[in-house]
Amino acid sequence: MKFIYNIAVYLYTFAIFLASPLNTKAKLWIKGRREWRKKLASATAEFHRIVWVHCASLGEFEQGRPLIEKIKEELPDFKIILTFFSPSGYEIRKNYPLADYICYLPADTKRNAVYFIRTIRCEKAIFIKYEFWNNYISELNRNAIPVYLVSGIFRPDQHFFRWYGSFFLNILKKFTHIFVQDSRSASLLSQAGVENITVAGDTRFDRVAKIASSASAVPAIEQFLNGEKAFLAGSSWNSDEDIIAEYINANPGRMKWIFAPHEPSRPNIERLEKILKPSCIRLSQFSEKHKDARILLIDTVGILSSAYRYAHISAVGGGFGKGIHNILEPACWGVPVLFGPNHLKFKEAIDLINLKGAFCFRNYKEFQTILDRLLTDSIFYKSISEILLKYVEENRGSTEKIFKKIFQEFEQDSKNQV
């Protein structure tokens, strides 16, 4: 199986290379890894105490971010090397100031893993949520470098727990410790023979709580709203947007409307302008003279988490595609949140639906029914808002628990064994 895995890594890399002339993300994936050995060696030559944090993409970065901030705050002598697998993470966070070096993770070949681990000389490695690269994790083991999985979440249908999953299950067994989000994940791992597990929760709760307490104002949005309530579609995709646009076109005056598309590219913004009948203005073009517009299109990145503070109701995209984006960002403000049907892999979505604090819509009729009730039933709206605020507050504290375990308890145990 190891041979098949390594062949698959080479074939995947070759496929991305072939796609790169026609696919923007593939092109960035290839370009970002050029001369990576030279760049890595040069950038980290003077580093001494190093923690390596790896995230697949932007969502995983947001889960790892609270821990990075905690490390920098409590242990400023450590250097942070931050790696990404996906361009959608690296390209947005390549200038993140709390990481001392940021780069793409080279493909998971044995040769790459040996060079990377030998060059960075890290004391600890932290993988966020979903990344299980066999050669990197094996090389960390061979060098006796502790490696941790943070905010992991597991389901019975994953390949680790299938009849053919022994190779992948052995990767999990190589982690020094695994921090999972819930007891179901811990039970699955334990039954499969994986030891050293802690139910620590989801670090994103700490992140969104911090956002809510320190978010910057967005004056353009304040001017655009001009005292009116707002609906915010965050990280929206075409399928979400088509349903929302139908409601807006039928009810333009009920609120002001804000879109922050998952892909704020020019073609996508132009598409929104075509399907929306009321007057639209792009954030990049907004001035006070545009405050009478009914719809604001956010055509930049980096302000969505702060923008949710202005929403009266929100919808988070992705639920008609690969899966929903971060619903905790509006939840931390007590803003009712709607999303599409592909949410079953997201614990927070299941939790909030069970608590009757969030809503799934599969079509226009369901969206219309939910929105109409939230706009007309003030008692119902208030109860939803209170459920959301309580849920976020009760689930805080994961970052502190993980930090203490990795950097205090484990280090103390090592000293006691000497």
The pLDDT value recorded for residue 305 is 87
Residue pLDDT, tens place only, 115-142: 999 999 999 999 999 889 999 999 999 9
278 and 189: one domain? Answer: no
* Cα 204 to Cα 116, 201, 209, 299, 348, distances in angstroms: 28, 9, 8, 25, 10
105/139 same-domain check? yes
Residue 251 and residue 378 in one domain: yes
User: Domain tally for the chain?
Assistant: 2
Confidence of residue 418 (pLDDT cuts 50, 70, 90): very low
Under 8 Å CB-to-CB from 378, ≥6 apart: which residues?
Answer: none
Contacts of 142 (CB under 8 A, 6+ apart): none
Is 113's pLDDT higher than 50?
yes
Residues 236 and 163 in one domain: no
pLDDT > 90: what percent of the chain? Answer: 86
Asked if residue 208 belongs to a domain, the reply is: no
Categorize the per-residue pLDDT at 326 as very low, low, confident or very high, splitting at 50, 70 and 90.
very high
What is the mean predicted confidence (pLDDT) over 70-92?
94
Q: Are residues 229 and 155 in the same domain?
A: no
Instruction: Look up tokens 């922050």; give the residue.
Output: 260
Mean pLDDT of 340-359: 94
Are residues 240 and 321 located together in one domain of the fold?
yes
CATH number of the domain enclosing 101: 3.40.50.11720
Q: Is residue 186 part of a domain?
A: yes
pTM recorded for the entire structure: 0.85
What is the rounded average pLDDT for all residues in the chain?
A: 93
Residue-range definition of the domain harbouring residue 295: 215-394
- Calculate what percentage of the chain has a pLDDT beyond 70: 98
d(CA 392, CA 126): 24
Same domain as 295, residue 237 = yes
Collect all residues with Cβ–Cβ distance below 8 Å to 274 and sequence separation of at least 6: none
Q: Are residues 192 and 246 in the same domain?
A: no
CATH of the domain at 294: 3.40.50.2000
Tell me, rounded to whole angstroms, the distance of Cα 50 from its chain centroid: 24
Q: What is the mean pLDDT of residues 342-368?
A: 95
If asked whether residues 298 and 369 sit together in one domain, one would say yes
Is 197 among the domain residues? yes
Do residues 154 and 246 both lie within one domain?
no
Q: In the Cβ-directed half-sphere of 11, how many Cα atoms lie within 13 Å?
A: 6
Instruction: Look at 291 and 232; give whichever has higher pLDDT.
Output: 232
